[in-house]
Structures are given as structure tokens and as C-alpha cells.
Structure 1
Amino acid sequence: MGIEKIPAREALFPKAGPWQGVKDRMKETMDNWIDCPAVECDPGKVSGAWVFRGTRVPVSALFENIEDGVQRSEFVSWLPGVTLQQACMVLEHVAHTLETA
């Protein structure tokens, strides 16, 4: 019996539990983002991607980071203009949307 080898990425960035795969599933619910006050979509900003209101930070960046094990507070500390309240609102919106889908 040998020592189980864990891929470096998995060891450094463990999966984020219930949020795993949300980035892919949120594509199914993109039409519902209009109901979330924490985000906006403007064809002149980031090619029309959904971004955190008042920023150029794509909403998808939150899910990519969460899937890699980053905490919400850490995510917002890296991105000026994105608040913890906005990140929480987005996560709550997605959770509600996926529950009712």
C-alpha cells in the first residue's frame, strides 16, 4: 500500500461543496439575473457580460473562485468595488433560482 497521491490543484484548492458546478449551471439561469440588484449588464461593459453593479468584474469570476475554494470575503478583498453584500446577494439569488428551476 502506497501513499495516495492527490493532484496539486485539488490539494491546493479543495472543491467548494454545494457550489461546485454552479458556474456551469448558472448559464441556464442567466435570464433571471435581471431580478438581482447586485448585478448589471451593459453591452458597453465587458462585452455585455453580467457584472457586479458599478464594476467591470464579471459575476462568473465569483463562481470560478468559489469552485476553487476561495472564501467570499477573500474574493471581495481582491476586487475593489465588489462588496461582500453584493457577493452574498448573488449567491442567494442563484441558490433561490436553482431551487425553483
Structure 2
Amino acid sequence: MRFARQLAVSHDPFHASKEPKHGSQVKAKRTETMDNWIDCPAVERNPGKVSGAWVFRGTRVPVSALFENLGDGAQLSEFVSWFPGVTLQQARMVLEHAAHTLEAA
């Protein structure tokens, strides 16, 4: 039985790249990626909520949990059932936003 992961540490396809980056390139890319979440209406960030991590709007579920669970083989429908408050529409919006951001990079 699969278990939902609420906190992701390293597996986040949104930050993945085809070529490894080193030093300041990594820091610059991560900063750029974090700023790009501002344009996604399905998420929010509040310094007093989940240590300022990007979360699904109206919840305390980190966006990184979506990528972690999908990376472990979970289905989108399973993810939203494991995390009450996150809607299928929000999860799809996050994935679409991530795809568009990666295409633009």
C-alpha cells in the first residue's frame, strides 16, 4: 500500500533539468523557479504557514508533496484523496504551470 508523503526533500521534477548545473547556476535556477509560482492561482505562500513553503491555496499541503507522490507512482486521483482540501483542479493547474515554466526555461 502506498502512503502519501506530506513533505518532499529532494525529488521535485519542477526543479529537474536535462543537464546538471553547479554552484551559482543551481541557486539562480531555484530562485527563478520559486518566483514563477507567483503566477499560479492554485498556490500561495505565507511566511507563517508551513515555514513559508508554497502550498495549495487554502491548505497547508506543500506543492512539493504533489511532485513527491507522483514521483513515487501515485495517481493524481489518489493524491487528492489523500490530501483533503486539495482539489483535482488545483493539482492539474500546478502540473500545467510547472510544464509551461519548464518549456519556457
The total of aligned residue pairs comes to: 83
Higher relative CO (Cα under 8 Å, sequence separation at least 6) belongs to 2
Distance in 1 between residues matched to 2:14 and 2:103, nearest whole Å: 15
Q: TM-score, normalised by structure 1?
A: 0.76
Counterpart selection for 1:79 from 78, 83, 89: 83
Which residue does the alignment assign to 1:25? 16
Hey, what does 2:63 align to over in structure 1?
59
Q: What is the DSSP-based 3-state SS (H/G/I as helix, E as strand, rest coil) of the residue aligned with 1:95?
A: helix
Higher helix share: 1
Gaps of 5+ in 2: 3-10, 18-28
Gaps of at least 5 residues in structure 1 are: 1-11, 13-19
Moved over 2 A (4+): 23-28
Pairing partner for 1:46 from 39, 43, 50: 50
Question: Sequence identity, in percent?
Answer: 77
Structure 1 residue aligned with 2:6: none
Q: What's the TM-score once normalised by structure 2's chain length? A: 0.73
